[in-house]
């Protein structure tokens, strides 16, 4: 690999940027000020841009310097991790799996989707949550082995990725016991009267929920919107509002958040996808997850039957 700059020069620049001046960087490096200054100028000459400029008694980054510093941060952070990574690789066997999780994907669902690999005896799992665009960028750079999300990957001519469907689950409405009892009276029209919290429009299922409200002729009293599904459930369980959740985790949802089911969000399902860089997946742990891609429906016969048998309450 041929490079037009020296990593040594980049390192000196990185220290200068961190310290805010050549003198302080020279002290940290135990080198002469002139030597450090010369090395930084060599890097600027190689890159063709000024990276630092005077500011008071010190130096600050130019726009080009900010870009160079961002890359240098990543490079030298990886360098600091290298000894530990090498040591881990030879000290004990491990099955490493790096997974990205999109913000809107329900965390209880993530646990269910990951179940096929949780019994791996030497599993070393790295989970990172973020925006889908950021996660796909890390996937393309092989920082992640897989991305779990609520939508298929958008078309991108620069990044070739493949979306694998993991199924879907119907949604239902849940709330704190007191609020759920009130919402059951006259459901689903009651959702125009009780407070409702929803995922933000950035979450894929939000558009389907808006369509459901329109079809039912309901104008919901929205009191909160959340990107993060765990935050939505936390505020919902506190009594802030009735909220939608996937039924495939019904039992765990009621146990963990102490909420009650109000009724079904008829016809609305949340879909789940695993996105990878290969059409034919090679990673054995990713293969295990994809092989469990059965339909993730949750009919809840007991709950549904109890609701059908329960006498109607007057508003």
- Dump pLDDT digits (tens) for 66-81: 999 888 888 887 777 7
| Position 1 pLDDT exceeds 50 | no
What is the pTM for the complete model shown? 0.63
Q: How confident is the model at residue 234 (pLDDT cuts 50, 70, 90)?
A: very high
d(CA 164, CA 14): 41
Is the pLDDT at 17 greater than 60? The verdict is yes
Model pLDDT for residues 177-186, shown as the tens digit of each residue: 999 999 999 9
Q: Tell me the per-residue pLDDT of 119-146, one tens digit each, with 9 for 90 and over.
A: 888 888 889 998 888 888 888 888 888 9
CA distance 249 to 241: 19
Mean pLDDT over residues 18-45, rounded?
Answer: 89
* Domains located in the chain, CATH noted: 7-89 (1.10.10.10), 95-166 (no CATH), 168-271+295-309 (3.40.190.10)
pLDDT of residue 259: 96
3-state secondary structure of 227: coil
Tell me what the mean pLDDT of segment 258-271 comes to: 95
Q: Which is nearest to 19 in space by CA: 52, 64, 67?
A: 52
Provide the strand spans (E) within the chain: 52-55, 58-61, 95-102, 123-130, 146-149, 162-175, 195-199, 221-226, 243-246, 260-276
Question: Using an 8 Å Cβ cutoff, are 112 and 249 in contact?
Answer: yes
Residue 151, token pair as written in the block: 């939508």
| Averaged pLDDT for residues 184-191 | 96
Q: What is the pLDDT of residue 293?
A: 63
Residue 203 DSSP one-character state: S
């Amino acid at each position: 690999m041929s490079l037009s700059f020296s990593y040594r020069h980049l390192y000196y620049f990185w220290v200068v940027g961190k310290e805010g001046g050549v003198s302080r960087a020279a002290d940290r490096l135990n080198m002469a000020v002139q030597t450090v200054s010369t090395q930084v100028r060599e890097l600027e000459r190689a890159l063709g841009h000024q990276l630092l400029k005077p500011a008071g008694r010190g130096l600050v980054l130019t726009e080009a310097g900010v870009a160079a510093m961002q890359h240098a941060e990543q490079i030298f952070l990886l360098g600091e991790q290298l000894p530990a990574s090498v040591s881990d690789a030879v000290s004990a066997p491990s099955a490493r799996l790096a997974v990205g999780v999109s913000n809107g994907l329900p965390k209880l669902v993530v646990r269910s989707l990951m179940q096929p690999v949780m019994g791996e005896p030497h599993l070393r799992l790295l989970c990172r949550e973020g925006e889908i665009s950021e996660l796909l960028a890390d996937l393309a750079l092989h920082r992640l082995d897989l991305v779990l999300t609520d939508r298929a990957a958008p078309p991108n001519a620069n990044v070739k990725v493949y979306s694998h469907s993991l199924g879907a689950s119907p949604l239902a409405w849940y709330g704190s016991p007191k609020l759920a009892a009130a919402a059951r009276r006259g459901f689903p029209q009651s959702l125009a009267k009780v407070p409702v919290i929803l995922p933000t429009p950035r979450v894929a299922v939000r558009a389907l929920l808006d369509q459901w409200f329109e079809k039912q002729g309901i104008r919901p009293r929205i009191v909160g919107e959340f990107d993060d599904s765990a935050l939505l459930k936390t505020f919902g369980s506190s009594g802030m509002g009735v909220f939608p959740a996937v039924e495939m985790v019904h039992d765990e949802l009621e146990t963990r958040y102490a909420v009650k089911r109000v009724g079904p969000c008829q016809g609305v399902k949340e879909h789940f996808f695993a996105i990878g860089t290969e059409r034919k997946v090679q990673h054995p742990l990713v293969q295990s997850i994809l092989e469990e891609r059965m339909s993730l429906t949750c009919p809840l016969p007991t709950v549904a039957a109890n609701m059908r048998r329960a006498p109607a309450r007057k508003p």
